[in-house]
């Protein structure tokens, strides 16, 4: 996972977006039409990304959600409470100029997807994986024409070239930076391009995909308990997942 994240253009852009706390410097946040796009306006002035690009997208519903994030801020801006803004910043400053690299990164996940690898034991975990993962693979076969090879354990299993081609075609269909950034975020957060595609296509809810991605972790937690710090990190990642799914839903409207 870490190797993927280091190469991911969206994550690289986000890594440069951790400035010190900023006091709120505006009163009103609105959305204004700007040619074929809609941009965030703060007190009548166009907002900018960390790289000084205009904070704008083709989807007005998406920008209205972004404006809501800015409007609800208190005296100090809280980046953790602005996941859509951070996603759009990454889309504009990182993904937009590296669309092919971003697609290739998602395709790399698809070649070694979480859903291909199954536990041999305990039987209860293997059954949970079957119930959660198999319907997604069946959906991908019926919708994308992809057939999969599965493996027990973590030893790499190669997928048929036709399957990899079908998955890459599905990924290539995301030709708008914000949508591709959202797909990339969901892929890295879940470790599964298939779960991300299923959410993007409406075959899974974000909550269903999130539970499937953390099935092994939740199984272990039943026996060993939940670590408070790990739970907090997972909640923060969920907010990113929810924002990415929301961005895709807005793009579809």
The predicted pLDDT at position 154 comes to: 84
Whole-angstrom distance, CA of residue 205 vs CA of residue 40: 28
Q: Name residue 45's beta-bridge partners.
A: 42
Region for residue 44 given its phi and psi (left: phi exceeds 0; alpha: psi -120 to 50; beta: otherwise): left
The predicted pLDDT at position 18 comes to: 57
Q: Domains along the chain?
A: 2-81 (3.30.2180.10), 99-252 (1.10.3580.10)
For the question of whether the overall pTM of this predicted structure is more than 0.85, the answer is yes
Q: Are 170 and 163 in contact (CB under 8 A)?
A: no
Per-residue pLDDT of the chain (253 residues; tens, 9 = 90+): 445 555 666 666 555 555 678 999 999 999 999 999 999 999 999 999 999 999 999 999 999 999 999 999 999 999 999 999 999 999 999 999 999 999 999 999 999 999 999 999 999 999 999 999 999 999 999 999 999 999 998 889 999 999 999 999 999 999 999 999 999 999 999 999 999 999 999 999 999 999 999 999 999 999 899 899 999 999 999 999 999 999 999 987 6
């Amino acid at each position: 996972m870490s190797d993927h994240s280091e190469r991911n253009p969206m994550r690289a852009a986000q890594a440069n977006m951790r400035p010190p706390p900023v006091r709120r410097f505006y009163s009103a946040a609105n959305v204004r039409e700007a040619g074929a796009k809609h941009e965030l306006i703060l007190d009548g002035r166009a907002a900018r990304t960390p790289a000084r690009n205009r904070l704008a997208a083709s989807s007005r519903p998406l920008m209205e959600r972004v404006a809501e994030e800015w409007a609800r801020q208190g005296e100090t801006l809280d980046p953790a409470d602005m996941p859509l803004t951070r996603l759009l910043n990454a889309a504009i400053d990182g993904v937009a100029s590296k669309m092919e690299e971003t697609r290739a990164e998602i395709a790399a996940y698809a070649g070694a997807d979480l859903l291909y690898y199954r536990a041999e034991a305990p039987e209860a975990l293997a059954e949970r994986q079957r119930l959660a993962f198999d319907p997604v693979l069946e959906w991908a076969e019926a919708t994308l024409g992809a057939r999969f090879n599965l493996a027990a354990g973590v030893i790499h299993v190669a997928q048929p070239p036709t399957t990899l081609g079908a998955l890459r075609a599905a990924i290539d269909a995301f030709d708008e930076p914000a949508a591709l950034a959202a797909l990339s975020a969901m892929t890295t957060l879940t470790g599964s391009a298939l779960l991300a595609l299923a959410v993007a296509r409406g075959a899974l809810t974000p909550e269903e995909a999130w539970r499937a991605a953390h099935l092994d972790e939740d199984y272990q937690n039943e026996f060993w308990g939940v670590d408070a710090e790990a739970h907090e990190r997972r909640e923060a990642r969920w907010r990113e997942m929810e924002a990415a799914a929301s961005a895709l839903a807005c793009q579809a409207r």
